[in-house]
């Protein structure tokens, strides 16, 4: 296999989980209030990742916030609960949000 083709294949495979999780966020209407790199109604995913960087319990905290909602951490606008999102999807979303740099 040629190097450029191999590189293209590797890049597409490594980008797939990120794209899938962005699509998961879009599917669950997370992107109505959040964007990757700028504040909308709620904080950007990058700001969330920066705030929780180094926090070993961040993934569980984030999953809990996604599922149960919350308020007061980022200002007066509450985040609504999302009980309809499966636990597996909540975990994937939390992990993805925290991976944003």
Q: Which residues pair with 79 in a beta bridge?
A: 70
The strand pairing partners of 34, in sequence order, are 39
Angle at Cα 65 formed by Cα 62 and Cα 69, nearest 5°? 160
Q: Is 62 annotated as a binding residue?
A: no
Q: Is the dihedral of CA 48, 65, 67, 28 positive or negative?
A: negative
Q: Treating both helix axes as pointing N-terminal to C-terminal, what angle do 45-52 and 87-98 enclose, rounded to 10 degrees?
A: 80
Is 79 a known ligand-binding residue?
yes
33 marked as binding residue: no
Binding region for heme c: 30, 34, 79
Binding region: 30, 34, 79
């Amino acid at each position: 296999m040629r190097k450029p083709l191999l590189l293209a294949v590797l890049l597409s495979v490594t980008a797939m989980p990120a794209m899938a999780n962005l699509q998961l966020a879009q599917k669950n209407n997370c992107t109505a209030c959040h964007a990757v790199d700028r504040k909308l109604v709620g904080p950007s995913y990058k700001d969330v990742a920066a705030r929780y960087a180094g926090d070993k319990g961040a993934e569980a905290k984030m999953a809990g916030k996604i599922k149960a909602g919350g308020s007061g951490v980022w200002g007066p606008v509450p985040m609504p609960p999302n009980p309809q999102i499966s636990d597996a999807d909540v975990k994937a979303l939390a992990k993805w949000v925290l991976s944003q740099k």
